[in-house]
Structure 1
Amino acid sequence: MAERMIEVDGVELCTEPFGDRSDPPILLVMGTGASMLWWEEGFCRLLAGGGRYVIRYDHRDTGRSVTSEPGRPGYTGADLVGDAVGVLDAYGIPAAHVVGVSAGGAFAQLIALDHADRVLSLVLISTSRAVPGDRELPPPTDEFVRFLSSARVDWSRAASVIDYLVDYARVLAGGRRPFDESAVRDLVRRDVERAHDFAAVRNHDTLPEGEQSRESLSSIAVPTLVIHGTADPMFPFGHGEALAEAIPAAGLLALDGAGHGVDRADWETIARAVIAHTAGGEQS
């Protein structure tokens, strides 16, 4: 299927569907700083092949969606949450299974809290609690912190940006598995080349939170599956455990040796889990 431009609250977002429109819908919500390409096409097709109608989309300031001047986004984190709901509206979908990774997992939690009628179930990958809780959470790894504090990048040069993002992906991978630099470099290159202005992605780092209700995660009533790598350097595994404890009856799938994100080595495992998890809900 081809990419489709939609309008959400007066801004253009780029989306792409996979599968049969009559199948149960899954909305994929990527983390900040990343376009929909990070929900790789092969993974989307695995889900679609399992009888799901899958939609991925570019956040504002990523890919082919609306792009703001770097340093002047003019929107908030709450707007990114609203955009996800707007994607469902544009496709005429009353409610969907929502799958989020990293910050996209936090957005998914907020959608379930603030727009509960739009969510059939949740799958939360490599993420943490979107609202505070009582359990103390482990800090990022020393290697992750060192990288963020020492890495240098020239955002005006594509080659510098690509090198930086490949190095960042290597750190996020967690170090316990082989790192496929060639595949990651190809993905990063396509992401950078596809963007209207890749430097605008830095806007995600400074977004104000915006207006959101702050209900407890214990009020989330939809079936929830937490998927977390045991070698995640950004949100160590304790974040996944705490999230699964905070949401009633949530399941927890540990990915041994996996870092942060959706590694190709885990595609089949994650896809099977998502397909099984989303088998019970019908679109209302």
Structure 2
Amino acid sequence: MPRAQANGLELEYDTFGDPAAPPVVLVMGLGAQMITWEEGFCELLASRGFHVVRFDNRDAGLSTWFDELGTPDLAGIIAGTARAPYLLSDLADDTVGLFDALGFAKAHVVGASMGGMVAQQLAIDHPDRLLSLTSIMSTTGDPSVGQVSPAALETLTKPAPESREEQIEQSIANYRVTGSPGYPATEEYLRRKATRNYDRGRHPVGMQRQAAAVVASGDRTERLHDVRVPTVVLHGDSDVMIDVSGGKATAAAIPDAELVIVPGMGHDLPEPLWPDIVAAIVRATERA
């Protein structure tokens, strides 16, 4: 896969569809690699007349890692006694740097989980570069909404085992906690997904630095009131990683945003829901 020089670092990316079609850039979440946007999903979206781009955020997958910045002091960041290595605004700048590298004056942006936060930040910091915004299973940064359940919090904070086999098993167990109860995945699918993620570039300390960026970036609610790009907000009613209140707050903060609550959906993108998710993205693009 190709790499782009963007914002002083390298971003691994992949594309689907006609390069002459309107671009849709997919931003993935905390510690997640771009392959979490599965090829079938990207191809389905591209078939609706788009040039689809997925990429690895900094500190994830095959993009630049920032290991020289060390492990962040999350407790200190929460207490205000330590600083995060970088912020969500830096990840938004990375995304704009990818736009520049690929020659996009503007693009439709779709973000999932932390990627939704990055997409929101992009709409705040670079409103002239967005055609539309789709925020999936995300939140505004307001600590009173979008809370993580105790079981999901345990999956986030559990130390990574040392061996490959143990890390794969841990990932499978985590997927079972955070996945969609209305659309349960098979054991074979979860094992294949966990194995592929580990072998391609699982990077737990990079996820910690991304988490520090989320915590340190604070509440975007007031600034989201000024967003004027066509917006769709999707959220599962069974999300234990980011409670559905986070999606409701996002839609309430952005003027004229469409809110879609998906029954049975958790904190993943199950294949049976791909047509509905793509349809919502298309509605945002049509409003643009």
TM-score of the superposition, structure 2-length normalised?
Answer: 0.86
1:192 corresponds, among 198, 204, 225, to 198
| Pair 1:228-2:239 in alignment | no
**Post-superposition offset of 1:213:** 8.8
CA–CA separation in structure 2 for the residues paired with 1:14 and 1:271: 23
CA–CA separation in structure 1 for the residues paired with 2:17 and 2:121: 26
1:277 corresponds, among 253, 265, 284, to 284
1:203 match: 209
**Post-superposition offset of 1:9:** 2.5
1:181 match: 187
2:268 corresponds, among 261, 267, 270, to 261
1:95 match: 106
Q: 1:129 to 1:138 in 2, by over 3 A?
A: closer
Q: 1:210 to 1:103 in 2, by over 3 A?
A: closer
Q: How do 1:120-269 and structure 2 match up within 5 A?
A: 120-130=131-141, 132=142, 136-137=144-145, 139-148=147-156, 151-154=158-161, 156-195=162-201, 200-207=206-213, 209=216, 216-269=223-276
Structure 1 vs Structure 2: percent identity of aligned residues? 34
Describe the superposition over 1:97-151 as per-residue Cα deviations: whole angstroms up to 9, x where unpaired: 1100001101101100110000111100000014x49xx42633343245446x4
Describe the superposition over 1:235-281 as per-residue Cα deviations: whole angstroms up to 9, x where unpaired: 22222112111111110111111001322221111112212321243
Describe the superposition over 1:6-57 as per-residue Cα deviations: whole angstroms up to 9, x where unpaired: 1112211101111111111111000120110101111000010110111000
**Post-superposition offset of 1:160:** 1.8
CA–CA separation in structure 2 for the residues paired with 1:258 and 1:39: 16
CA–CA separation in structure 2 for the residues paired with 1:164 and 1:71: 26
Cα contact 2:108–2:131 (8 A) shared by 1: yes
**Post-superposition offset of 1:66:** 1.3
1:36 match: 34
Cα contact 2:221–2:253 (8 A) shared by 1: no
Describe the superposition over 1:68-109 as per-residue Cα deviations: whole angstroms up to 9, x where unpaired: 327627544332121111110111101111100001101101
Q: 1:70 to 1:229 in 2, by over 3 A?
A: farther
Aligned residues, how many?
Answer: 274
Describe the superposition over 1:174-194 as per-residue Cα deviations: whole angstroms up to 9, x where unpaired: 434423232122122112111
Cα contact 1:29–1:100 (8 A) shared by 2: yes
For the residue of structure 1 that corresponds to 2:67, the secondary structure is: coil
What is the CA RMSD across the aligned residues, in angstroms? Answer: 2.5
Unaligned runs of 5+ in 2: 72-84
CA–CA separation in structure 2 for the residues paired with 1:196 and 1:139: 25
Cα contact 1:114–1:212 (8 A) shared by 2: no
Letter in 1 for 2:197: D
Q: How do 1:78-89 and structure 2 match up within 5 A?
A: 78-89=89-100
CA–CA separation in structure 1 for the residues paired with 2:178 and 2:220: 30
TM-score of the superposition, structure 1-length normalised?
Answer: 0.87
For the residue of structure 1 that corresponds to 2:225, the secondary structure is: helix
